[in-house]
């Protein structure tokens, strides 16, 4: 079963680094000492899927080289160097 990627915007995400640990634990419904219960962990796994990064395909070397010259500033510098 494939899960779709979750996206968050800055407006909807809490400022985690500015929150107190107890507030974060309450927000996530977790106990800092015990962690999640087995049932809660399984429910989140079913709802959210595995905590994995999505692999993206590699780009060919010629495309990487071409991408180096798509910036206006780089083009101006190349023209100025000639």
The string of pLDDT tens digits covering residues 26-46 is 998 888 899 888 999 999 999
Question: Which residues lie below 8 Å from residue 22, measured CB to CB, with a gap of 6+?
Answer: 32
Contacts of 30 (CB under 8 A, 6+ apart): 36, 40
Would you say residue 74 lies in a domain?
A: yes
Number of H helices, E strands in the chain: 4, 0
How far apart CA 20 and CA 23 sit, in angstroms, is: 5
Question: Residue 51 falls within a domain, yes or no?
Answer: yes
Is residue 11, in this structure, part of any structural domain at all? no
Residue 5 covered by a domain: no
DSSP annotation of 52 reads: -
Q: In which band, very low, low, confident or very high, does the pLDDT at 7 lie, cut at 50, 70 and 90?
A: low
Span 60-81, pLDDT tens digits? 999 988 888 888 898 899 899 9
Number of domains making up the chain:
1
Whether 43 maps to a domain, the answer reads yes
* Residue range(s) defining the domain that contains residue 30: 16-81
Instruction: Assess if residue 4 is contained within a domain.
Output: no
Q: Is position 9 within any domain?
A: no
For residue 65, tell me if it sits in a domain: yes
């Amino acid at each position: 079963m494939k899960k779709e990627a979750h996206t968050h915007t800055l407006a909807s995400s809490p400022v985690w680094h500015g929150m107190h640990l107890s507030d974060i634990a309450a927000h996530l419904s977790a106990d800092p000492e015990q962690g999640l219960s087995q049932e809660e962990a399984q429910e989140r796994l079913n709802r959210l899927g595995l905590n994995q990064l999505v692999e993206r395909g590699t780009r060919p070397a010629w495309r990487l080289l071409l991408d180096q010259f798509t910036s206006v500033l780089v083009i101006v510098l190349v023209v100025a160097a000639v």
